[in-house]
Amino acid sequence: MTVRLPVAVFALLFSCHLMAADDQLSLVALYDASRLNDAAYQVANHDYEASRQEEAIGRSGLLPQVAINSRYGHGGKFNKESAANSGEDQFASDSIALTVSQPLFDKGRWAAYEQAKARARLGEFQHDNAGQALYDRVVQAYFDVAQVENELKLTSQQKASIAALAKQSKRLFEAGEGTITDLEEAQARLDAISAQEIEAQARRRAALRKLSGRAGLPVNDIQPMQEPSPANALLAPEEDLDYWMLKADQAAAELGVSRATIKVAEANLKLQKSGHYPTVALSGRMARVDQSDINELSQRQSTYYVGVVVDIPLYQGGGVSASSEKARSALESARSSYDAQLQQLTEDVEANYLGVVAGFEKIRALITAVRSSQVALTSAEKGYQAGVRSTLDILDAQQRLFSARRDLLDTRLAVLQSYVNLHTRTGQMTRSKLEKVQGLF
């Protein structure tokens, strides 16, 4: 037996779980929180619920229309002919009628029904697209924090190394074994890296505030990024560019929105052109009328009517033709918009695919660069101890090492972002895929 909790209860339980998790927000936890609190996604949810009524609204025009009309009142004449018969100038009139109408042939109502079905499908695709876009926003906001935290961590480590080197240079200078140039160079680098650290801390606070707004919960920290890089490629060998292009054509939510928009425009054109066609409807009416005057003379009459009503439009001032041309232009605009979106989607899928594939190769190259920079730094430190290298040589080697490490971490984030974008643009992103990204983070 499956127990379904209300959304509010689930949100409360999730919030308690999140706040108990050492105050470190994971990527999947951010996504779960954003599904409940992200304003743009909530708008999409409400719009989708509204669009689910479109078909019922359109179908109502094809079904019988039943109404009851009643009237109860008192009336009379303003100008009385004589005082003798003035009482006869006032009367009471009560009536009640039941009317039924059933369209038999009405191209306008049928076109409106087709358009309503197309709008309902459009609402489904727009909701799917909003769900895929949520993954992009969540990952981007999370990685923005991760990037600045990586930079802050590396900056702090670099600052500690430069501070140690500055102390050593000062000690050697005071002992008469060093130079003032080495001391001043180390101090200048230390001041510069301190300023970078202050800037990084400010950007971290701003990124965390943005992340808190996305999750709808206070966020003070996220899970730290792993140092090891993925050993295997993120995409399977059979998932080549043609594979992702086919997936995009079949399941991309953006293309689904554009195709549904074209269907709505086609139905609207039929709706506008229907103004040239006659309508046929079956009509029925049952009525009872009671009338009485002041002399208590009363009349009661009950009637019924069943027949066919035919309306033939002849001329409506050219409005139907103008509306049809306007709808035709809107249809062509929707088709052109689809072509432009298809072209943009093709470019984005290719760019994200190459971002994953080429980015993985770049990671492997940067791993080698980090190792080489570490060896170069060790050699510079040994040379400094031997008196053949200067403080500037060590500082430059440190800078190259930390730059290589920063590039490696940034590239890893870029590859994971491209991986997510590739799946969202092709309509393939799921929570399980997000869990995989978190495992690689």
| pLDDT > 50? residue 52 | yes
What is the 3-state secondary structure of the chain?
Answer: CCCCCCHHHHHHHHHHHHHCCCCEECHHHHHHHHHHHCHHHHHHHHHHHHHCCHHHHHHHCCCCEEEEEEEEEEEECCCCCCCCCHHHHEEEEEEEEEEEEEEEECHHHHHHHHHHHHHHHHHHHHHHHHHHHHHHHHHHHHHHHHHHHHHHHHHHHHHHHHHHHHHHHHHHHHCCCCCHHHHHHHHHHHHHHHHHHHHHHHHHHHHHHHHHHHHCCCCCEECCCCCCCCCCCCCCCCCCHHHHHHHHHHHCHHHHHHHHHHHHHHHHHHHHHHHHCCEEEEEEEEEEEEEEECCCCEEEEEEEEEEEEEECCCCCCCHHHHHHHHHHHHHHHHHHHHHHHHHHHHHHHHHHHHHHHHHHHHHHHHHHHHHHHHHHHHHHHHHHHHCCCCHHHHHHHHHHHHHHHHHHHHHHHHHHHHHHHHHHHCCCCCHHHHHHHHHHC
pLDDT for position 253: 87
What does DSSP say about strands 90-105 and 279-293: parallel, antiparallel, or unpaired? antiparallel
Per the CB < 8 A criterion, the answer to whether 422 and 350 are in contact is no
CA distance 3 to 386: 73
pLDDT for position 293: 64
User: Could you read off the pLDDT of 193-242 as tens digits, one per residue?
Assistant: 888 888 888 988 888 888 888 777 888 888 888 877 777 788 888 989 99
User: Nearest to residue 273, comparing CAs of 316, 320, 317, 312?
Assistant: 320
Q: What is the CATH number of domain 21-52+106-277+322-440?
A: 1.20.1600.10
CA distance 206 to 148: 10
User: Nearest to residue 363, comparing CAs of 236, 234, 224?
Assistant: 234
CA distance 127 to 139: 19
CA distance 412 to 406: 10
**Which stretch of 89-98, 132-141, 375-384 has the lowest confidence by average pLDDT?**
89-98
User: Could you read off the pLDDT of 312-326 as tens digits, one per residue?
Assistant: 988 888 888 898 999
pLDDT for position 418: 93
CA distance 129 to 106: 35
pLDDT confidence tier of residue 178, bands split at 50, 70 and 90: low
What mean pLDDT is predicted for residues 143-155?
89
CA distance 131 to 137: 10
| pLDDT > 80? residue 295 | no
100: tokens are: 């039924």
- Winning range, highest mean pLDDT, from 158-162, 230-234, 305-309, 379-383: 305-309
pLDDT confidence tier of residue 166, bands split at 50, 70 and 90: confident
CA distance 260 to 122: 5
| pLDDT > 70? residue 79 | no
Q: What is the pTM of this model?
A: 0.79
67 burial (CB, 10 Å; 0-12 / 13-18 / 19+) is exposed
